[in-house]
Amino acid sequence: MKEAIVNGDTSVSIHDVEIPVPQAGQLLIRVAVTGTNPKDWKMPIKYPDAPARNQGDDFAGYVEALGEGVVGFNKGDRVAAFHSVMELHGSYAEYAIAPAYTTIHLPAKVSFEEAATIPLAAMTAAVGLYQTLRLPLPWNPISQPQPLIVYGGATACGAFAIKFAKLSNIHPLLVVAGRGSAFVETLIDREKGDTIIDYREGDDAVRSKIKAAAGGQPIHYAYDAVGEHGSHENIGAVVTAPAQVTSVLPALNYQPPEGVRSEQCIVGYIHFPPGPGKTIHHAEFGAAFFTLMARGLAQGWFSGHPYEVRPGGLGGLEGALRDLKAGKASATKYVVRLSETEGVTN
């Protein structure tokens, strides 16, 4: 099969390799569409001495084979899946491996392209909101106003955070966005106090407008889907202690104000088994939330992110990753169709 490897300079090499074999609890999935994520170019740069690898994690396709102990799936099922981050056999290939509990059945009305935008970004949002910030879950929505900052609302993680927060009836949502503000407008609820703050107006304006939008209410929670370019500092300047902030990137060289706890949202933890003495952990949370998302897709109250199909299949990955690195993607996810890869016949 064809597999794409992302090198330390963000170049992509395509090789012929053997089709992997699923282990216990895993599925082998024939990839129809794979999504891309910022981590796919950031990780090779962050760890230049690590072996170059297939960085794909978001994908959709057809179940090809089941590992030992897997139930609820059959060969040929249409699915979307979240590959175990930084493990072998990612989705930049004709066939990929994913744990069964991070794989969901797709209703026929949901395209593979849309489905490939969901797993990593949506789960990053869910882990941040509910495992790190400990906000009320969608099946137990809050009944009182609870301001929440979503910094980077047009990013995939930020947009999914908005969608989940609304399911939990968390308002007002104080959303920081820029070029993607028109898209964010389609997600928020102005009648419940939600608003958009344009970061392009500068840090002072962002801070003053967030405070004004809160209407005098204390802001105890923030979801940072950017994690750089001053987001940590701007959030720290407006939250009310005691406050909890979760970010997709660590706060390097930044010390939060007293009473403000800042913690990175590490979505990869959902691939870890429960720790000693624990029965409910990120893994169980992941299994439950992927089931919830599958129900939402089938019933129509949950959807994926806007996307752009990059031509050339795996051959289009290098350009997609470089455009991600250059910050050209706004309110969109780049996806590629494996069938368009040179040399692929399926």
Length of the chain: 346
pLDDT band at 278 (very low <50, low <70, confident <90, very high): low
Residue 268, pLDDT score: 85
**Span 137-163, mean pLDDT?**
97
The string of pLDDT tens digits covering residues 16-34 is: 999 999 999 999 999 999 9
Whether the predicted pLDDT of 279 surpasses 70:
no
Handedness of CA 345, 310, 336, 91 (dihedral sign): positive
Distance CA 314, CA 321 (A): 11
For 133, counting Cβ atoms within 10 Å of its Cβ (0-12 exposed, 13-18 middle, 19+ buried), the class is buried
Write the pLDDT tens digit of every residue in 308-335: 999 999 999 999 999 999 999 999 999 9
Instruction: Specify the pLDDT at position 269.
Output: 83
Calculate mean pLDDT across residues 186-214: 97
Strands 12-16 and 2-6, sheet pairing:
antiparallel
Q: Who has greater pLDDT, 10 or 149?
A: 149
Note the pTM of the prediction, 2 decimals: 0.96
- Which pLDDT score, from 0 to 100, does residue 274 have? 66
**5-18 mean pLDDT:** 95
The span from the CA of 180 to the CA of 273, in Å, is 37
Residue 283: per-residue pLDDT: 85
**pLDDT higher than 90, residue 89:** yes
* Residue 110: predicted pLDDT: 98
> Are 64 and 316 spatial neighbours (Cβ–Cβ below 8 Å)?
no
The domains of the chain, with CATH numbers, are 2-118+304-340 (3.90.180.10), 122-269 (3.40.50.720)
DSSP letter for each residue of 23-42: -TTEEEEEEEEEE--THHHH
248 DSSP assignment: S
* Cα gap 200→177, rounded to integer Å: 8
Contact 227, 254 (CB under 8 A): no
> Quick one: which of 132, 131, 125, 122 has its CA closest to 243?
132
Question: Poorest-confidence range of 75-84, 223-232, 276-285?
Answer: 276-285
Q: Give the per-residue pLDDT at 119.
A: 96
CB 94 within 8 A of CB 15: no
Tell me which residue has tokens 């902030």.
Answer: 245
Listed in order, strand segments (DSSP E) in 67-192 are 78-82, 95-99, 103-105, 148-151, 173-177
In 3D space, the residue among 199, 200, 170, 175 whose CA is nearest the CA of residue 185 turns out to be 175
Whether residue 272 has pLDDT greater than 90? no
pLDDT band at 74 (very low <50, low <70, confident <90, very high): very high
